Amino acid sequence: MTRLFKNVVLPLAVVAIAAAVSLAIISSRPELPRRESIEVVPLVEVVTVQPGPVAVTIESRGIVTPRRSIDLVSEVSGRVDWVDSGFLQGEAVSEGQLLLRIDPIDYEVALSTAEASLASAELALAEVKALVKKAAIAEAQAGVTAARDRLRQAKVDLANTEIRAPFNAVVDIKQVDVGQYVTAGSSLMKLLSTDVAEVRLPLLASDVPYVDYGQYDDGTWPQIMLTASFGNIKHSWRARLARLERRVDEETRVFFVVAQVDEPYSRSLHSHILALGLFVEASFAGIAIDDAVKIPRSALHQSSYVYLVENGSLQRREVTLRRRESDSVIVSGLEAGDLLVLTRLDLMVDGMPVRMLD
């Protein structure tokens, strides 16, 4: 009996007493205060939209080129015996300016010979007419005609010994100098015209529908500004959008609109000369897009929809992307008074409660 008490009854009693004490402690512990859960509503920035005509900005850049560029060749052969001191590579020359002269002595002799031949032919014709030799008259008249043609050719050859600028230009390449012998057909120089400068501005296919070019009915042209930086100094030139080239570059797949500047080297028209070969930038307004809104890129999701705030919650609205620009997009499909969400949250779903930033 004693062994049963020690091995069974006593341990059970100890366990029962410990359980009773633990239950008493737990029951006497004060109840912890309950915290009410607080719902956090995201704060978003919104803007009220007003659809209407949206101006399109087009940016491009290009190199100033001449409207005309020619390789001037000699039409006669001979030694160059005189060159104008202003005939230098990179210098401007005027239309009609004498640039160099080929020794004319051979052509002066040819001219005198042609004049003598014409006189002899005319004398022969007069003699056969006086003798009324009808058979010989036709032959004599042909001789006079041939002599006149040779005289005209001799005059042209003599005139061609003087090489003049065919238009206002810049000497791009000079290939002859005093003492050099040139042959007919040899290149003397390359000239770049300066009456009108052109800049080919590359455009993406998406830009083309919004470019206004060509002369208006009233005689005016669409105007743009070309700019170039010289260190910290920026110069600008007014240009006209003359034409859109009717071809696409095979490698880059871009179009080109051509801007023109009148008399780029004129100090009276421009504050600074627009040198051929200069790299310039252009930023100009295109044709406006009607019934559209320009919004930040971050407000457009997956290029197809935006979020609005309606009755304190997000509402998804499908839009049509009309055009992308540097830091913004132009879309249609919004209505006047819509509250467009500018803030981009990590999680945005239709019907999500939000608060608007004051």
Here the CATH number for the domain that contains residue 169 is 2.40.50.100
Residue 6: the pLDDT is 60
Same domain, 112 and 167: yes
Residues pairing with 58 in the sheet: 284
Let me know whether 245 and 271 are in one domain.
yes
Residue 14 lies in a domain: no
| pLDDT > 90? residue 144 | no
In the DSSP assignment, the letter for residue 219 is S
Average pLDDT value for the chain: 89
The answer on 258 and 216 residing in a single domain is yes
Strands 169-174 and 187-193: antiparallel
The domain in which residue 99 lies consists of 69-192
pLDDT of residue 141: 83
- Retrieve residue 182's tokens: 């040139």
CB distance 199 to 258 below 8 Å: yes
User: In terms of domains, do 208 and 345 share one?
Assistant: yes
Neighbours of 41 (CB within 10 A): 11
The verdict on residue 146 lying in a domain is yes
Amino acid 24: pLDDT: 67
Last residue of a domain, one of 192, 221, 247: 192
Which residue in this structure is represented by tokens 């209407």? Answer: 52
Q: How far apart are CA 310 and CA 306, in angstroms?
A: 13
Question: Could you tell me which residues are beta bridge partners of residue 191?
Answer: 70, 171
Average confidence (pLDDT) over 182-196: 96
Q: Do 262 and 300 sit in the same domain of this protein?
A: yes
**What average pLDDT score do residues 101-120 get?**
93
Could you read off the pLDDT of 82-106 as tens digits, one per residue?
999 999 999 999 999 999 999 999 9
Instruction: Tell me the two tokens of residue 147.
Output: 């002599």
* CATH number of the domain to which 306 belongs: 2.40.30.170
| 53 and 163 fall within a common domain | no
Number of domains composing the chain: 2
Rounded distance, CA 161 to CA 79, Å? 10
Please indicate, yes or no, if residue 53 is contained in any of the structural domains.
Answer: yes
Count of H-run helices and E-run strands, the chain: 4, 22
Q: What is the pLDDT of residue 14?
A: 66
The answer to whether 235 and 278 are in contact (CB under 8 A) is no
Cα–Cα distance for residue pair 102/269, rounded to 1 Å: 37
**Sorting pLDDT into bands at 50, 70 and 90, what band is 222?**
very high
Verify that 346 and 223 share a domain, yes or no: yes
- pLDDT for 153 equals 94
pTM (2 d.p.): 0.74
Tell me the per-residue pLDDT of 278-336, one tens digit each, with 9 for 90 and over: 999 998 989 999 999 999 999 999 999 999 999 999 999 999 999 998 889 999 999 99
Within the chain, where are the H helices?
2-4, 10-28, 105-130, 134-159
**Virtual torsion, Cα 234, 237, 242, 245, nearest 10 deg:** -30
Q: Which residues contact 220 (CB under 8 A, 6 or more apart)?
A: none
> Of 319, 297, 296, whose CA–CA distance to 306 is shortest?
319
Residues 54 and 82 in one domain: no
